[in-house]
Amino acid sequence: MKISILGTGMVGRTIAQKLLSLGHDIVMGTRDPAETLTRNEPDNWGNPGFADWHKANSAIKLVPFGETADGADLVINALSGHGTLVGLEAVGAENLAGKILIDISNPLDFSNGFPPSLFVSNTDSLGEQVQRALPETRVVKTLNTVNANLMVEPKALADGDHSMCVAGNDETAKAEVAEFLKEQFGWTDVIDLGDITTARGTEAVLLWWVRLWGSLQNPMFAFKIVR
C-alpha cells in the first residue's frame, strides 16, 4: 500500500519504520521538508534529530503537507495535538476527501507542565474536530492509548494480550482499520467503540495514562478490557 504519515516525531517515525519494514511505500508529510532535514539536534528524550534518523531510513520520502495525500491508500495523522488541525488544513480537505484517515493525535496541553491536561475534552474531542474539519474524510480514531512502540508491536507486551479501540462514523472504514491493525501490527483485541464522539472516551484516557506513566515509571503498559 501507499501510506502517508503526517508528522515527523517519534510516533510518525515509529509507524513509518514499521510499515516500511512490512514492504509498504511510505511518504511522510511535514511543513517544510528542507527545513526538517536540517534538524540534527536530539530531542529532550535523546532521540536523534530527524536528519540523522532519515539517513538510516532514506527509502521514506519526505514531502510538504500539500503533497502528502497524493495517491495515498491510507493517511495516518501522527502530528501533535496542537499541530493537528493546522497540519490537516495544509494537507487540504479536498486532497483527503474519500480517504481513510487514522487519527492518533491527543489534545495534550503541556502549558502548565507535567502531567498535561487536555485542550479539548469531556463534551468534545480532537477526533470530532478533525472529522468536522474534514467532512468528506473517513476519520478513524485509534492507537492513541499506548506509546509508539506498542502501537506497532503490541506483542512486545504480554504477547499482545491487551485491547485497542476504534472510533469513527464510517463502519467500513472502521472495519478496514481494525483489520489493518491486526494484520500489519498484530493487534488481537480491537473494540469498535462507536461513532467519532466516542473519541471523547479514548482521548480522556490520556489523563489516566500520563499518571500511570508517572506511577509505573515506564511507558510500556497498555489497557486490557477484561470481559
Using CB under 8 A, list all residues that contact a copy of itself.
117-118, 121-123, 157-158, 161-162, 165, 191-194, 198, 200-202, 204-205, 207-212, 214-216, 218, 220-227
Q: How far is CA 16 from the centre of its chain?
A: 11
From the CB of 118, what's the least distance to a copy of itself, in Å?
A: 6
- Phi-psi region at 67: left, alpha or beta (left = phi > 0; alpha = psi -120 to 50): alpha
From the CB of 8, what's the least distance to a copy of itself, in Å?
A: 29
* Nearest CA-CA partner of 167 in 138, 137, 205: 138
Q: Which is nearer to a copy of itself, 37 or 191 (CB)?
A: 191
Say how far apart CA 54 and CA 26 lie, in whole Å: 12
Q: Which is nearer to a copy of itself, 5 or 103 (CB)?
A: 103
Say how far apart CA 117 and CA 206 lie, in whole Å: 9
Say how far apart CA 133 and CA 96 lie, in whole Å: 11
Q: Which is nearer to a copy of itself, 70 or 161 (CB)?
A: 161
From the CB of 85, what's the least distance to a copy of itself, in Å?
A: 19
For residue 106, the tally of other CB atoms under 10 A from its CB is 25
Q: Which is nearer to a copy of itself, 117 or 169 (CB)?
A: 117
Q: At what angle do helices 126-133 and 81-91 cross, to 10 degrees?
A: 10
Q: Which is nearer to a copy of itself, 77 or 198 (CB)?
A: 198
Amino acid identity of residue 201, one-letter, is G
From the CB of 127, what's the least distance to a copy of itself, in Å?
A: 12
From the CB of 111, what's the least distance to a copy of itself, in Å?
A: 11
* Nearest CA-CA partner of 24 in 72, 56, 68: 72
